[in-house]
Amino acid sequence: MPYKSRWELSPPHVSVPSFLFGSPTGILSDAEKILLDWKRPETHSFSLHSLREWSKRFAAGLTAAGIQQGDRVMLVSGNNFWTPVIVLGVVMAGGIYNSANPASTARELEYQLKDSEPRFVFAAENCLRVTQEAAKSAGIDQSHLFLFEELPSHFATASERQEKLINNTAQHWGTLITTPQVGSAFRWDESQTAEMATKTAILIYSSGTTGLPKGVEVTHSNLVSTTMQLMKMQLSDKSVTQRRSLCVLPMYHGLGLVYFVFVASKSGLQSYMMQRYNLRDMLSCIDSFKITELLLVPPILLAIAKHPSARNGDYDLSSVRKVVAGAAPLGTEVTQQFEEIWSGRVRVRQAWGMSEIPCIAMCWNEAESSGPSSISVGELVPGVVAKLVLEDGTEETRPGSLGELWVRGPNVMKGYWRKPKETSETITADGWLKSGDIAYRDENNKWYIVDRKKELIKVRGAQVAPAELEALLLEHPQILDAAVIGLSPSDDEDPRAYVVPRHAGAITEEEIVEFVASKVSKIKRLTGGVGFLSSIPKNPSGKILRRELREYAKKQNSNGTSLKSHL
């Protein structure tokens, strides 16, 4: 029997711009700032009104440049104050926004360019050379490639403006920003139909942890639904009169994009945007701007939990009331270490979602921000239905029993871009999305994510969850980070750990193997040994790239290097 959220959801049939701003010409507040540059909040901020007007100016420029309905527009950049204008301007103009990781190689970018075939490409200055190389290989017209950085009108000095404009090897995106008068006259499609709601608005490329990245088609209705769900679960407590958030997550990733462009705009959540993650800068922001709520991913939580500056009171973090963690599982030990910074007053509440459900299906209700510590991902958000499915296709209904999590709801993706086979393998004919995650629920209908189905390690007929062993390893004071994979010398697999020690020589392989063996059953022991690394490979959202570790282990083995040796 499927489990339903205790809240219904009926998203309106409107476009994202209509949902966020109402009409293209309606009166909006220009006094309340919703998005601010953390380094220049006095001069670089958007109100809902100014965000709409700047986005319209860009949309008008795209229209004049020849964008057609459904054309893709790619942005290759880290966080930038102007990113929301690119996103919303593209969607207003009827295009499909598509972001790319700024750390992508030319080969990786070429794949995404060929797959999405964008009409226009915008690249940050530090990504421009690689993007130009990839665009040339992909057959993208170089005249459709633009440099994305500060608008010339916002440079500090006239000489800086002149230098930038002279030295550019690509057109500046500012050439597509029309005058305020032209922008004011722009109108987006205000149709209120099911056809409008089901049009693709953005493409989020999956992380590619198990294969080549796939473009996830996210519709206007998906984004409207997700925004409504998050506002209901996280921003509905009317007793909270002042909220301030910090955007430290990358906006080229689905979670950062959805929360800080769409949710922040609709809810009026005041958000300070960081261009890139830096721990000390982040702690300084919390202190200076009295940040009240944080949306983080496990690597950042882990860094904060273990950093002396956070634990020793070097920064005033007392303004924080709520912390939500998403994108990857978080173990009990790290959760408790993090909560100790606030002496248990602030709880980490985990959430669960994926690019294909952008980006939320389960989280805690804000009313439960306090209370006992928990590693649960909360409950189903409004309008979502879930069930646990066993290998034989039957449903698991007993509390505490494991199964693959399937979900259905208004925020489930339209499908994978131009990949009907992969879409049909992931979404059933009656709308169930197979998440690939192993989960269970307790008797209070709280849900728990155990691990990815494809990442479970098969040991003598049993299944071992890498996340369980990783959480255990992080309990050791001499281990900063850890990842576990399965090695396959035969039909069985051997769990193997890769760890980042606190410092070289802080701990030996034998000590780690014995530490784990003393705390787990025999099938969970590290029979594949331990390797030492300077860092664990992860994607931007914090998911461990186990495929890279498996390839690394295979390479070591083929070179004749004992996997028992220190790496």
172: phi then psi, degrees, rounded to nearest 5: -80, 135
Query: What is the β-pairing status of strands 171-172 and 145-148?
Result: parallel
| List of residues 6+ apart from 166 with CB closer than 8 A | none
Amino acid type, 377: V
The 3-state DSSP class for residue 484 equals strand
Predicted pLDDT of residue 164: 55
> pLDDT tens per residue, the chain (567 residues)?
799 999 999 999 999 999 999 999 999 989 899 999 999 999 999 999 999 999 999 999 999 999 999 999 999 999 999 999 999 999 999 999 999 989 888 988 999 999 999 999 999 999 999 999 999 999 999 999 999 998 866 544 445 544 554 455 789 999 999 999 999 999 999 999 999 999 999 999 976 545 578 999 999 999 999 999 999 998 888 778 789 999 999 999 888 999 999 999 999 999 999 998 899 999 999 999 999 999 998 888 888 888 888 888 899 999 999 999 887 777 777 888 888 898 888 888 999 998 899 889 999 998 887 677 788 999 999 999 999 998 788 887 788 888 999 999 999 999 999 999 999 999 999 999 999 888 999 988 899 988 777 777 878 656 687 888 888 898 899 999 999 998 876 556 889 999 999 888 889 999 999 999 988 878 889 999 999 999 999 876 677 888 789 888 888 776 655 554 333
3-state helix, strand, coil in the chain (%, to 5): 35, 25, 40
Contact 226, 360 (CB under 8 A): yes
Model pTM score: 0.83
Predicted pLDDT of residue 347: 87
Longest Cα separation, the chain: 72
What size, in residues, is the chain?
Answer: 567
Angle at 97 between CA 92 and CA 100, to 5 degrees: 155
Q: Which two tokens stand for residue 546?
A: 């186990």
CATH of domain 456-558: 3.30.300.30
For residue 285, whether the previous peptide bond is cis, meaning omega lies within 30 degrees of 0, is no
Predicted pLDDT of residue 157: 43
Q: How far apart are CA 319 and CA 5, in angstroms?
A: 31
Contact 347, 339 (CB under 8 A): yes
Closest listed residue to residue 49, CA positions, set 268, 263, 224: 268
Predicted pLDDT of residue 53: 98
Predicted pLDDT of residue 152: 65
Could you report the per-residue pLDDT of 308-361, keeping only the tens digit for each?
888 888 999 999 999 998 877 777 778 888 888 988 888 889 999 988 998 899
Predicted pLDDT of residue 225: 97
Closest listed residue to residue 226, CA positions, set 59, 361, 339: 361
Could you report the per-residue pLDDT of 545-563, keeping only the tens digit for each?
887 898 888 887 766 555 5
Q: How far apart are CA 358 and CA 70, in angstroms?
A: 20
Domain 24-189: CATH architecture, name and number where available: 3-Layer(aba) Sandwich (3.40)
Closest listed residue to residue 405, CA positions, set 450, 349, 471, 355: 450
Task: Please list the residues that pair with 171 across neighbouring strands.
Answer: 146
CATH of domain 219-453: 3.40.50.12780
- What are the residue boundaries of the structural domains of the chain, listed by start? 24-189, 219-453, 456-558
Predicted pLDDT of residue 336: 86
